[in-house]
Amino acid sequence: MSDVLYVSNADDLQQAIAMLSQSEFITLDTEFMRESTYYPILCLIQAATAAGCVIIDPLALKDLQPFWDLLDDRRRVKVLHAARQDLEVLSQAPRTGVSGLPAGTIPGPLFDTQSAAAFLGHASQIGYGNLVTERLGRTLAKGHARTDWTRRPLSAEQLAYAADDVRYLVPLYLDLYAALDSAGRLEWLREEMDKLEDASLFRTEPQDAWRRLKGLDRLKPVQRLAAKRLAAWRETRAMKHDRPRGWILPDDALREVAERLPSTSADLEQVRSLAGGIVRKSGEEILTVVAQARSDAATEAPIVVPGKPESEQLARVTKLMSIVRAQAEHMKIAPELLATRRDIEQLVFSGKVDALGGWRQEVIGARLLELAAG
């Protein structure tokens, strides 16, 4: 590990920043834990350039402001693989007692190697290890993916594993960038990366927490409203106490409470999926939420169930999907980058779809819109 700088004090951090700041790009990865918390506990930040690799320990060094300032500098590209999870962790770092990026900031500009690979014909969800093997011919060690990153000291094997997550991102980035540039697809990727800089993608507002739940369309309006209100209450409580949602109220219990609409403690105790501890700690609050949903039931409009698609519409969906697959094969990219079946169904059934704008409009969107209308 002589080529990796382990950063656990302010002096080492300044040395790391001095090295990283010389590059036009920085590769990034994180190790975190969230088994017993709502917010992820940031345990390690790995960063690398062509000059070297650093592993920053937020558990040993709480003041990371110089590093956040470096990330906030848009003169450097931030390279990640499957970036969404790491961006969520980095954006929520301040919640766990670590100094963080300015509120509402995502450290752009971004380059996601998973997305870049999809534009070059690789599977759209290809893993980092497989991509390193396919593009660089290297096989990465496995075995620490589920390690407890909060424990100290970290072993040499753990540190090597963490370092590999960013050191191979350096040649991978250079390789993918050159290939995209040669194929004339860099701007396509940049368009996708711009969307990732929307900080709202990485947080859940309590009033929108119900969107995580499935099957609410099968509930009566009052039951659906109760589920929405319970989801908002659960999210707020989980955030306040920094505990997993399921510890506050499991999904199956939330659903059963919404269906039963209990009005008394005795009713609540009949909810078989609801643990006794939750009833004792939060029973009154749950009953209050349900009572409010009952009172406001008239505000929840019935869901309009769309009619069964006509055979001609289904045939058109099949036809357009075959065009998408043929175009993707011709371009040697993953078909879902052009359009998913859901996109095509929305296009045929409603006549429009937002996903076909931007670079897709020129590549296939205009053609699909014309054929869908015909």
Question: pLDDT tens for residues 316-363?
Answer: 899 999 999 999 999 999 899 999 999 998 888 887 777 788 999 888
The angle subtended at Cα 32 by Cα 92 and Cα 147, nearest 5°, is: 170
Tell me the C-alpha to C-alpha distance, in Å, between residue 307 and each of 216, 274, 304, 310, 318. 18, 36, 9, 9, 19
User: According to the model, what pLDDT value does residue 126 have?
Assistant: 96
pLDDT of residue 1: 46
- The CA-CA-CA angle for residues 33, 37, 38, to 5°, reads 110
User: How many domains is the chain built from?
Assistant: 3
Is 54 within a domain? yes
Q: Are residues 28 and 87 in the same domain?
A: yes
Instruction: Assess whether 235 and 290 both reside in one domain.
Output: yes
**Which among 165, 185, 202 is the end of a domain?**
202
**One domain, residues 272 and 362:** no
Q: How far apart are CA 16 and CA 44, in angstroms?
A: 14
User: Any idea what the CATH number is for the domain that residue 167 is in?
Assistant: 3.30.420.10
Return the SS3 of 274. Answer: coil
- Are 74 and 171 in a shared domain? yes
**Residue 154 domain-assigned (yes or no):** yes
264 and 141 in a common domain: no
d(CA 255, CA 274): 10
Give the integer Cα–Cα distance in Å for 38 and 50: 35
**Could you report the per-residue pLDDT of 221-259, keeping only the tens digit for each?**
999 999 999 999 999 999 999 999 999 999 999 999 999
* 77 falls within a domain: yes
Structural domain includes residue 172: yes
Structure token digits, residue 237: 């409580």
Residues 6+ apart with CB under 8 A from 85: none
Residue 94 has pLDDT above 80, yes or no: no
Residue that is last in its domain, among 299, 330, 351: 299
Assess whether 131 and 12 both reside in one domain.
yes
DSSP character string of 167-211: HTHHHHHHHHHHHHHHHT-HHHHHHHHHHHT-GGGG---GGGGGG
Give the helix/strand (H/E) hosting 136. Answer: helix 128-136
Angle at 103 between CA 101 and CA 108, to 5 degrees: 55
Q: Looking at 83-92, 200-209, 223-232, 300-309, which range is the least confident one?
A: 300-309
279 within some domain: yes
Average pLDDT score over the chain: 91
Same domain, 74 and 117: yes
Q: Give the pLDDT of residue 371.
A: 82
Question: Exposed, middle or buried, 173 (CB in 10 Å: 0-12/13-18/19+)?
Answer: buried
366/278 same-domain check? no
The span from the CA of 233 to the CA of 240, in Å, is 11
Last residue of a domain, one of 178, 202, 226: 202
Q: Domain check: are 153 and 216 in the same one?
A: no
CATH number of 343's domain: 1.10.150.80
Instruction: Kindly state whether residues 45 and 149 are assigned to the same domain.
Output: yes
Q: Is residue 95 scored above 70 in pLDDT?
A: no
Q: Is residue 306 part of a domain?
A: no
**Average pLDDT over every residue of 154-166:** 94
CA nearest to 286, candidates 255, 321, 257, 315: 257
Burial class for 311, CB neighbours closer than 10 Å (0-12, 13-18, 19+): exposed
> Which residues fall within 8 angstroms of residue 299, CB to CB, at 6 or more apart?
225
H or E stretch covering 26: strand 25-33
| Domain-located, residue 304 | no
Question: Tokens 């382990």 map to which residue?
Answer: 6
Provide the residue range defining the domain that includes 316. Answer: 311-373
How many Å from the N-terminal Cα to the C-terminal Cα in the chain?
Answer: 63
Kindly tell me if the per-residue pLDDT of 14 is higher than 90.
yes
What does DSSP assign to residue 33?
A: E
CA gap 39, 312 in Å, rounded: 48
Do residues 212 and 198 share a domain? no
> CA angle, 283 as apex, 282 and 288 as ends, to 5°?
100
Residue 242 to residue 204: CA distance in whole angstroms: 14
The least confident of 12-26, 144-158, 198-212, 246-260 is: 144-158
Both 63 and 38 in one domain: the answer is yes
